[in-house]
């Protein structure tokens, strides 16, 4: 805070971001012989307070290192705000690869990244350890890793201490073994495994200021997943186990789903359903001789260019999504539905159709005020989302040497 006039203080901001020039301020304190403590206080609660204080404490710790004085811990003489200090190593498990990035907890800046090919489902844990060892070479004396996160396109079961991922073909048995390997591979780091859709939704919360907005984030990936953010928390945390939106039934007589049921949302309108349902008809009518298979992006492009078969298929996809969305709205009543991942590639024709459908579907009281939109964040937002979720939920800056293991 900084006085705005002779009587009032201005807005409170994190240490180092306001008008006070701390290096000069501390220098002056030292000159006049101040020997006491410096107390960092923030008139707020929650994760933001933690980050601000951590950031401020970094400033003070640097003072100690720079002064060369044995009593520096209590008598800082020089304040130097540091941005590139606390990093989280975030690994994303993808189909046939592990991609890892060093993410600055202050601003999401990525110091370094690495990617390794996964030959089998059994090697995800060992590859993550290898990627991590590669990444820490990018650290300097001033930087440190405050934790490791793994982004999983699947479910995490805290009770069974296991995980499952259909896109990666990891079953419970393999999942349990991977967790054991990770536990023994990261003995001296905090490690956290998080569901991919939850990470993306957390990035929305933090980047778009949605802390007080109930919303459903729908992630179109290999499957179709959802994270439900209600009353300031993601239901089920970041385990991905509280909703299986992709397996809502939209047609009891529909196509078989790998889950054993019929007509699940992702079996009917998931990207991999497109070639099966409309591929030949649409590509033939578009004179496609390139051998490309039908995906969301191509469907959108052809529909926008006026191909009638593509328009009809795109409407069918929008209608199927609308059925599941209305069920979701009547069950949990979010204020917003945010469509992310590959769903964005379905484009504005799709979005307009969904919005129009919702004008005459479901209980008016529940549906009429819900807004539906595409996410404006990139798919890379999952990395920063994961780092922030871990930091806000699990990181304890009073016990930095702990080796916690967190699922979801
Ligand atoms: Zn299913």
Residue 339 pLDDT: 98
Domain check: are 75 and 97 in the same one?
Answer: no
Q: Please say if the pLDDT value at position 19 is more than 90.
A: no
**396 in a structural domain:** no
Same-domain check for residues 155 and 21: no
Question: 78 and 90 in one domain?
Answer: no
* Structure confidence at residue 322 (pLDDT): 98
Q: Are strands 144-152 and 191-195 parallel, antiparallel or unpaired?
A: parallel
On whether both 344 and 369 belong to a single domain, the answer is yes
Both 239 and 361 in one domain: the answer is: yes
Is the per-residue pLDDT at 35 higher than 90? no
Please list all protein residues whose beta carbon sits less than 5 angstroms from ligand 1, which is an ion: 247, 257, 259, 261, 264
pLDDT in the model for residue 69? 38
Q: What is the pLDDT of residue 177?
A: 97
Helices 47-67 and 381-393 cross at an angle (nearest 10°) of 90
Q: How far is the CA of 248 from the centre of ligand 1 (A)?
A: 7
Using the mean position of ligand 1's atoms as its centre, give its distance from the Cα of residue 197 in Å. Answer: 18
Output the CA angle 58-47-137, nearest 5 degrees. 45
Please indicate, yes or no, if residue 388 is contained in any of the structural domains. Answer: no
Kindly state whether residue 394 falls inside one of the protein's structural domains.
no
CA 330–ligand 1 middle distance (angstroms): 21
Question: What confidence tens digit (pLDDT) does each residue in 170-195 have?
Answer: 999 999 999 999 999 999 899 999 99
**pLDDT exceeds 80 at position 63:** no
Centre of ligand 1 from the C-alpha of residue 118, in Å: 26
Same domain, 252 and 190: no
Q: Is residue 238 part of a domain?
A: yes
pLDDT at 325 over 50: yes
Residue 249 CA to ligand 1 center (angstroms) comes to 8
What average pLDDT does this structure show over 322-343? 96
Q: Are residues 180 and 258 in the same domain?
A: no
The answer to whether residues 10 and 113 belong to one domain is: no
pLDDT average, residue stretch 25-49: 64
Q: How confident is the model at residue 292 (pLDDT cuts 50, 70, 90)?
A: confident
Query: Residue 225 sits in a domain of what CATH number?
Result: 3.30.420.40
CA 258 – CA 17 distance, rounded (Å) = 52
Mean pLDDT is highest, among 45-54, 182-191, 313-322, 374-383, for 313-322
Portion of the chain with pLDDT greater than 70, in percent: 79
Between 62 and 297, the higher pLDDT residue: 297
Kindly state whether residue 169 falls inside one of the protein's structural domains.
Answer: yes
Indicate whether 383 belongs to any domain.
no
189: DSSP letter: S
Residue 399 lies in a domain: no
Q: Is the pLDDT reported for residue 122 higher than 80?
A: yes
What is the distance in A from the centroid of ligand 1 to the CA of 246? Answer: 7
pLDDT band at 40 (very low <50, low <70, confident <90, very high): low
Structure pTM? 0.81
Q: Left (φ > 0), alpha (ψ -120 to 50) or beta: where does 168 sit?
A: alpha
Can you give the pLDDT at residue 44?
60
Residue 334: C-alpha distances to residues 180, 214, 242, 328 (Å) = 37, 5, 15, 8
How many structural domains does the chain have?
3
Three-state SS at 358: helix
Q: Contact at 8 Å (CB) between 124 and 151? A: no
Per-residue pLDDT of 215-250, as tens digits, reads 999 999 989 999 999 999 999 999 998 889 999 999
What token pair was written down for 403? 């080796």
**Ligand 1 centre and the CA of 346: distance in Å?**
21
Q: Please choose, from the candidates 113, 110, 125, 209, the residue with its C-alpha nearest in 3D space to the C-alpha of residue 165.
A: 125
Range of the domain at 41: 1-82
- Report the chain's mean pLDDT, rounded to a whole number: 86
pLDDT at 312: 97
Q: How far apart are CA 194 and CA 402, in angstroms?
A: 19
Checking if the pLDDT of 125 tops 70, the result is yes
> Is 60 in the same domain as 172?
no
What distance in angstroms lies between residue 356's CA and the mean position of ligand 1's atoms? 26
d(Cα 232, Cα 381) in Å, to the nearest integer?
20
Q: What distance in angstroms lies between residue 324's CA and the mean position of ligand 1's atoms?
A: 13
Position 105 in a domain: yes
Q: How remote is the CA of residue 308 from the centroid of ligand 1, in Å?
A: 29
| Span 341-352, pLDDT tens digits | 999 999 999 999
Distance 247 CA to ligand 1 centre (A): 4
Mean pLDDT for the stretch of residues 68-94: 61
């Amino acid at each position: 805070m900084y006085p705005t006039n002779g009587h009032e203080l201005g807005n409170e901001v994190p240490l180092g971001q306001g008008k006070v020039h701390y290096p000069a301020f501390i220098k002056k304190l030292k000159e006049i012989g101040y020997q006491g403590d410096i107390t960092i206080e923030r008139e707020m609660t929650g994760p933001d307070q933690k980050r601000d204080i951590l950031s401020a404490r970094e400033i003070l710790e640097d003072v100690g290192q720079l002064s060369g004085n044995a009593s520096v811990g209590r008598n800082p003489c020089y304040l130097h705000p540091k941005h590139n200090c606390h990093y989280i190593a975030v690994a994303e498990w993808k189909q046939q690869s592990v991609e890892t990035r060093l993410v600055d907890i202050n601003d999401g800046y990525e110091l370094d990244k690495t990617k390794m090919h996964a030959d089998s489902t059994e090697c995800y844990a060992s590859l993550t350890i290898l990627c991590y060892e590669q990444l820490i070479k990018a650290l300097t004396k001033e930087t440190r890793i405050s934790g490791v996160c793994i982004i999983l396109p699947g479910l995490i079961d805290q009770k069974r201490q296991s995980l499952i991922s259909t896109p990666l073909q990891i079953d419970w048995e393999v999942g349990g073994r991977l967790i054991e390997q990770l536990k023994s591979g990261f003995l001296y780091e905090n490690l956290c495994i998080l569901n991919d859709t939850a990470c993306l939704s957390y990035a929305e919360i933090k980047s778009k200021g949605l802390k007080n907005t109930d919303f459903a984030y729908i992630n179109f990936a290999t499957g179709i997943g959802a994270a439900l953010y209600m009353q300031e928390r993601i239901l089920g945390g970041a385990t991905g186990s509280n909703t299986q939106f992709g397996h809502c039934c939209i047609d009891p007589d529909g196509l078989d789903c790998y889950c054993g049921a019929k007509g699940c949302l992702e079996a009917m309108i998931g990207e991999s359903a497109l070639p099966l349902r409309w591929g030949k008809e649409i590509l033939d009518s578009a004179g496609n001789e390139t051998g490309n298979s039908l995906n969301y992006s191509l469907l959108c492009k052809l529909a926008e260019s006026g191909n009638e078969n593509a328009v009809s298929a795109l409407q069918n996809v929008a209608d199927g999504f609308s059925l599941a969305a209305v069920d979701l709205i009547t069950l949990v009543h979010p204020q917003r539905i945010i469509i992310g991942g590959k769903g964005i590639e379905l484009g504005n024709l799709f979005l307009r159709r969904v919005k129009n459908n919702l004008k005459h579907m479901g209980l008016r009281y529940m549906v009429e005020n819900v807004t539906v939109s595409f996410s404006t964040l990139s798919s890379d937002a999952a990395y920063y989302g994961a780092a922030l979720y871990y930091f806000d939920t699990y990181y304890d800056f009073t016990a930095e040497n702990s080796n916690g293991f967190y699922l979801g």
